[in-house]
């Protein structure tokens, strides 16, 4: 057979990484080690749904990468297995950030087609009420992820609508709000606050030991036996712990190290592979395809592309402006910047601002 570069490449690949999809953000684990208490808590709040009743709303709060989004999706999936009435709707407020947009998603999920343009929010509400009159069975449970975005965009009326479902929308609607803004309760309208913070679940950062056991479970499925040097998982766990107890960082690092080891045709994933990707290989994750490979979410990608577009670097202030970020979103952005820095994707360079003060300009990290 004539030589073929791809056959040669694939001869060795896959020897270490048996199933890399297990380490990607789209993978849905069916257990969440270290989150047993939080899972039980959420399930107990949602339990009325198993008897056909609309559960009261819940607020979940905690830093990035601690399993909030994954847990909400997993618990709703399990709820759906025992209750056919439940209609889970997932909305990320960075993607759907207006009252109109969210109401529209609700109507669509309830099975009605809406014209996308030329109709006002109040007309959507009227449509919902109409649906509510004939559809009394469905129990919509709306996950509102990164909900602080709504406050910054002055779209908090939707929170009022949703938490007052039957009166405001003509049908019951439960909300699972998710945010990494610990101060959100202070910023909510009093009427919304009382319903939403009544059931509050706080997530703390993962400890190195917790990250180690999560990574250990995932690695069993993702890698072949003995593919990992004993120090690899502890190191990935330590980096994630340092980045704020962030599981996403740890998983991303483990995956990148595995891919790097395969590229080198190594017999095992070693600490040196982890260090190499943390410092350099992750830097090349600045092309869209590789960023995807590195497992960043939509918002991380938006941040990186903003930074990439600014030839001479971008200050945090400029980034806030580009995102039209209010106070609470600035916090989210700050958290994400530190995480991207800890992951070796960006670096901050000290510069003098025009006012003579020191500030940092963010750049895509290119070399080790
Ligand atoms: N307890 C856990 N067990 C297994 N995987 C987890 C756990 N917590 C988080 N993860 C994984 O870490 C990543 C980040 O979790 P995510 O739910 O997106 O965090 P958050 O929404 O808090 O930012 C996801 O890939 C998720 O699968
Ligand atoms: Mg999340």
Query: Which residue segments constitute the domains of the chain, with CATH numbers given?
Result: 1-14+207-279 (1.10.8.60), 36-202 (3.40.50.300), 285-368 (1.10.10.10)
Name the residue of 24, 39, 247 whose CB sits within 8 Å of the most ligand 1 atoms, as the mutation to test its pocket: 247
Range picked from 209-218, 235-244, 310-319, 359-368 for highest mean pLDDT: 209-218
- pLDDT for res 79: 95
* C-beta of 32 in contact with ligand 1 (< 6 A): yes
Give the pLDDT confidence of 101-128 residue by residue, as tens digits.
898 888 888 876 666 666 777 888 888 8
Backbone angles phi, psi at 363, to 5 degrees: -135, 155
Does residue 227 contact residue 241 with C-beta atoms inside 8 Å?
no
- pLDDT for res 9: 63
Does residue 278 contact residue 250 with C-beta atoms inside 8 Å?
no
Q: Which atom of ligand 1 is nearest to the CA of 27?
A: 27
Give the pLDDT confidence of 246-268 residue by residue, as tens digits.
898 899 899 999 999 998 999 99
Name the residue of 26, 31, 70 whose CB sits within 8 Å of the most ligand 1 atoms, as the mutation to test its pocket: 70
With CA atoms as reference, report the closest residue to 16 among 327, 257, 200: 257
Strands 358-364 and 346-352: antiparallel
* C-beta of 25 in contact with ligand 1 (< 6 A): yes
């Amino acid at each position: 057979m004539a030589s073929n570069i791809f056959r040669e490449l694939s001869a060795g690949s896959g020897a270490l990484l048996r199933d890399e999809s297990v380490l990607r953000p789209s993978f849905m684990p069916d257990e969440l080690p270290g989150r047993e208490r939080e899972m039980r808590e959420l399930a107990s709040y949602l339990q009325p749904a198993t008897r056909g009743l609309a559960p009261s709303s819940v607020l979940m709060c905690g830093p990035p990468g601690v399993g909030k989004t994954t847990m909400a999706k997993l618990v709703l999936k399990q709820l759906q297995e025992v209750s056919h009435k439940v209609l889970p709707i997932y909305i990320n407020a960075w993607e759907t950030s207006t009252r109109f947009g969210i109401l529209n998603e609700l109507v669509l999920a309830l099975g009605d087609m809406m014209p996308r343009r030329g109709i006002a929010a109040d007309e959507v509400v009227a449509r919902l009420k109409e649906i509510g009159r004939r559809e009394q069975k469905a129990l919509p449970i709306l996950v509102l992820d990164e909900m602080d975005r709504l406050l910054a965009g002055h779209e908090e009326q939707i929170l009022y609508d949703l938490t007052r479902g039957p009166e405001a929308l003509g049908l019951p609607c439960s909300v699972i709000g998710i945010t990494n803004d610990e101060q959100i309760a202070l910023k909510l309208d009093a009427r919304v606050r009382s319903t939403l913070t009544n059931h509050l679940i706080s997530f703390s950062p993962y400890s190195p030991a917790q990250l180690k056991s999560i990574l250990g479970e995932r690695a069993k499925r993702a890698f072949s036996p003995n593919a990992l040097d004993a120090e690899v998982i502890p190191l990935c766990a330590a980096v994630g712990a340092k980045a704020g107890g962030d599981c996403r960082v740890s998983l991303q690092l483990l995956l990148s190290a595995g891919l790097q080891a395969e590229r080198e045709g190594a017999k095992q994933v070693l600490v040196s592979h982890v260090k190499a990707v943390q410092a350099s290989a992750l830097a090349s994750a600045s092309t869209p395809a590789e960023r995807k490979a590195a497992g960043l979410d939509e918002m991380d990608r938006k941040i990186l592309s903003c930074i990439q577009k600014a030839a001479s670097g971008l200050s945090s202030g400029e980034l806030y402006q580009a995102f039209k970020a209010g106070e609470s979103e600035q916090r989210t952005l700050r958290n994400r910047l530190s995480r991207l820095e800890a992951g070796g994707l960006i670096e901050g360079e000290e510069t003098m601002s025009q006012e003579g003060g020191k500030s940092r300009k963010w750049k895509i990290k290119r070399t080790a």
